Chain A
Amino acid sequence: DTGVSQDPRHKITKRGQNVTFRCDPISEHNRLYWYRQTLGQGPEFLTYFQNEAQLEKSRLLSDRFSAERPKGSFSTLEIQRTEQGDSAMYLCASSRIGAGRVEQFFGPGTRLTVL
């Protein structure tokens, strides 16, 4: 399967703990996006990378959130001192800019539950 993969698929944690999610984009996709989706809502943009550079962050991304994409391949999203309001589905998407198309392809998501 050459689609976007995310790990873990589910994470249950206690309030105040740190969690880290991983996303592996489609091979040769140079853009990688993180979105958050809560129940009954569409996904909301958090941040994106072009290659290894993080070029935009949403105001939704508080300073407890940090994302990296070392070497322009996989990406990690870390949430420090989790709060119950962080419970959501965290989605990763990738696209290949420069080929004249901008479609984003999504992974299966990581569902986070903060107790």
Chain B
Amino acid sequence: QKEVEQDPGPLSVPEGAIVSLNCTYSNSAFQYFMWYRQYSRKGPELLMYTYSSGNKEDGRFTAQVDKSSKYISLFIRDSQPSDSATYLCAMSAQGGSEKLVFGKGMKLTVNP
């Protein structure tokens, strides 16, 4: 079992839809949770960062962390064609290297 599991999709939605992306993890030491967006052949771009459990909102994006279930989510409201990209969840433990452990990434297409 991989430490971080993410459905790789692909996911195709119409413009304006609400998108839900999810990851599960097995390492209870993870304390930092991040979502990155990656366009084709580019580096990952940090979207959201959350420490421990709870919700965080930034514009059309909401990140949720449920440590009791080892489950994190990213919601995108009013999705736009420009949101079409691969979304990667990443997490790290506190202390030490704090290296990121990534999911496989979910490829999202938002159709006009």
Alpha-carbon separation in the docked complex, A41 to B41 (Å) = 13
Contact B101 A45 (CB under 8 A): yes
Alpha-carbon distance between A43 and B46 when the two chains are bound, in angstroms? 14
Select the stretch in A12-20, A68-76, A77-85, A104-112 that faces chain B.
A104-112
Contacting residue for A43 out of B8, B45, B97, B102, CB 8 A:
B102
Give chain B residues whose Cβ lies under 8 Å from the Cβ of A55: 97
Give the distance in Å from the alpha carbon of A6 to the alpha carbon of B8 in the complex. 27
- Scan residues 43-63 of chain B and give those whose CB is less than 8 A from a CB of chain A: 43-46, 49
Q: Is the CB of B99 within 8 A of A111?
A: no
**How distant is the Cα of A43 from the Cα of B100 in the complex, in angstroms?**
9
CB within 8 Å: A-B pair count: 63
Shortest beta-carbon distance, A104 to chain B, in Å? 6
Asked if B46 and A103 sit within 8 Å, CB to CB, the answer is yes
Query: Does A44 reach chain B (CB closer than 8 Å)?
Result: yes
Question: Which chain B residues border A31 with CB–CB below 8 Å?
Answer: 98
Question: How near does chain A come to B101, taking the closest CB pair, in angstroms?
Answer: 7
Q: Does A67 contact B (CB under 8 A)?
A: no
Name which of B44, B49, B101, B103 has the most chain A CB atoms within 10 A of its CB: B44
Q: Is the CB of A106 within 8 A of B88?
A: no
Q: Which interface residue of B4, B36, B41, B43 has the most chain A CB atoms within 10 A?
A: B43
Q: Is the CB of A91 within 8 A of B97?
A: no
Interface presence of A48 (CB below 8 A)? yes
Please judge, given known A-B contacts A42-B88, A42-B90, A55-B97, whether A106 and B102 are in contact too, CB under 8 Å.
no
Q: With both chains docked as a complex, state the minimum distance between the C-beta of A29 and any C-beta of chain B, in angstroms.
A: 13
Among A33, A101, A106, A109, max chain B CB count under 10 A is at A106
Residues on B lying within 8 angstroms of A by beta carbon are 4, 6, 8, 32, 34, 36, 41-46, 49, 88, 90, 92, 96-105
Residues on A facing B (Cβ under 8 Å): 4, 6, 31, 33, 35, 40-45, 48, 55-56, 89, 91, 93, 95, 97, 101-109, 111
